[in-house]
């Protein structure tokens, strides 16, 4: 069976975490012991692997929610333009007179490009630098180039309006008009702890050595700080054992918890208080 291995006389469920999800889960793979009996391990492996897939699905949702969007890219560019204008005004000599005089021309060219009157290459010439900068920093969304350029041109008009307000001596600048800048920030993807229905879950098992992130902690060398670095699933720390793992806990799980473990209402990922998961030890 895929993702089930026989290691040192014991059966183990093991699934590699995709590289892009490792910073979220803080581990390279998900591992759970299945005992020494082959038939029993095969019977219980499906529930364990289903839980693994649920964990990865939840992590992928958080990963996708954190990727750049047109709105986030627009806000980054807008703030960068305001900061650059601040820096220019604070420099010796103040704002460049040529830049002040050329802003109306620049704004008119942006409007013509957005209306479709000018060629598409015009957008590249006007705001291509901003698209390149966002791409270089990993802040550009995965959209066609011309879509990103149009969004940046729209935002640039708002930035130019703020520059003009500053030139006119307005103390309180106006609010941006672009929907890309006024849209509310998306709700962060929070992996909250779902209600548990009883019975142990994968989070109640001690992971075999090597399942934790980074190097294994030598026996007797854990000073307590490593516990703070371990991720938490289902509200219970993924404890890394110094040896083969807690097989008594694994047998208890196999005998009593498989049904609840396969429940469709899987407990979601949670970074709960490490101390809360160890109260029973």
| pLDDT band at residue 100 using 50, 70 and 90 as cut-offs | confident
Q: Which of 136, 166, 182 is the last residue of a domain?
A: 182
Distance of alpha carbon 205 from alpha carbon 203, whole angstroms: 5
**Strand 29-35, strand 4-7: pairing:** unpaired
% of the chain surpassing 90 pLDDT: 20
Beta bridge partners of 30: 15
Mean pLDDT of 21-38: 87
Mean pLDDT of 165-181: 86
| pLDDT band at residue 278 using 50, 70 and 90 as cut-offs | very low
Q: Are residues 128 and 230 in the same domain?
A: no
Mean pLDDT of 90-100: 73
Q: Answer yes or no: are the C-beta atoms of 52 and 15 closer than 8 Å.
A: yes
What is the structure's pLDDT at 268? 37
Q: Are residues 62 and 199 in the same domain?
A: yes
| pLDDT band at residue 94 using 50, 70 and 90 as cut-offs | low
Q: Are residues 43 and 115 in the same domain?
A: no
Q: Does residue 78 have a pLDDT over 80?
A: yes
Q: Does residue 138 have a pLDDT over 50?
A: yes
Instruction: Report which of residues 189 and 138 the model is more confident about.
Output: 138
Q: Are residues 158 and 234 in the same domain?
A: no
When divided into structural domains, the chain yields a total of 2
Q: Are residues 161 and 238 in the same domain?
A: no
Q: Answer yes or no: are the C-beta atoms of 34 and 45 closer than 8 Å.
A: yes
> pTM (2 decimals)?
0.52
Q: Answer yes or no: are the C-beta atoms of 46 and 35 closer than 8 Å.
A: no
Q: Are residues 16 and 98 in the same domain?
A: no
Residues of the domain holding 257: 4-66+190-277
What is the structure's pLDDT at 146? 92
For 55-76, how does the pLDDT look when each residue is reduced to its tens digit (9 = 90+)? Answer: 998 888 888 777 888 899 999 9
Mean pLDDT of 39-43: 85
Q: Are residues 96 and 166 in the same domain?
A: yes
| pLDDT band at residue 8 using 50, 70 and 90 as cut-offs | confident
Q: Which of 166, 182, 198 is the last residue of a domain?
A: 182
């Amino acid at each position: 069976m895929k993702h089930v291995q026989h290691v040192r006389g014991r059966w183990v469920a093991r699934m590699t975490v995709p590289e892009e999800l490792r910073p979220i889960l803080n581990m390279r793979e998900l591992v759970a012991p299945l005992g020494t009996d082959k038939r029993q391990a095969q019977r219980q492996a499906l529930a364990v692997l289903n839980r693994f897939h649920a964990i990865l699905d939840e992590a992928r949702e958080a990963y996708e929610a954190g990727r750049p969007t047109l709105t986030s890219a627009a806000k980054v560019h807008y703030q960068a333009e305001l900061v650059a204008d601040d820096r220019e005004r604070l420099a010796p000599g103040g704002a460049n007179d040529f830049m002040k005089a050329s802003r109306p021309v620049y704004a008119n060219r942006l409007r013509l490009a957005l209306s479709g009157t000018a060629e598409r290459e015009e957008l590249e010439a006007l705001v291509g630098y901003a698209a390149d900068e966002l791409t270089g920093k990993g802040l550009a969304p995965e959209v066609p180039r011309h879509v990103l350029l149009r969004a940046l041109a729209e935002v640039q008009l708002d930035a130019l309006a703020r520059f003009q307000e500053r030139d006119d001596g307005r103390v309180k600048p106006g609010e941006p008009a672009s929907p890309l800048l006024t849209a509310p920030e998306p709700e962060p993807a929070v992996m909250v702890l779902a209600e548990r229905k009883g019975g142990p879950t994968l989070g109640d098992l001690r992971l075999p050595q090597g399942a934790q992130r980074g190097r294994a902690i030598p026996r007797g060398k854990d000073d307590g700080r490593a516990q703070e670095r371990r991720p938490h699933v289902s509200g219970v720390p993924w404890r890394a054992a110094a040896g083969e793992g807690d097989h008594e806990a694994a047998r208890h799980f196999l005998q009593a918890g498989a049904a609840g473990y396969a429940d469709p209402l899987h407990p979601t990922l949670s970074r709960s208080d490490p101390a809360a998961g160890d109260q029973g030890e």
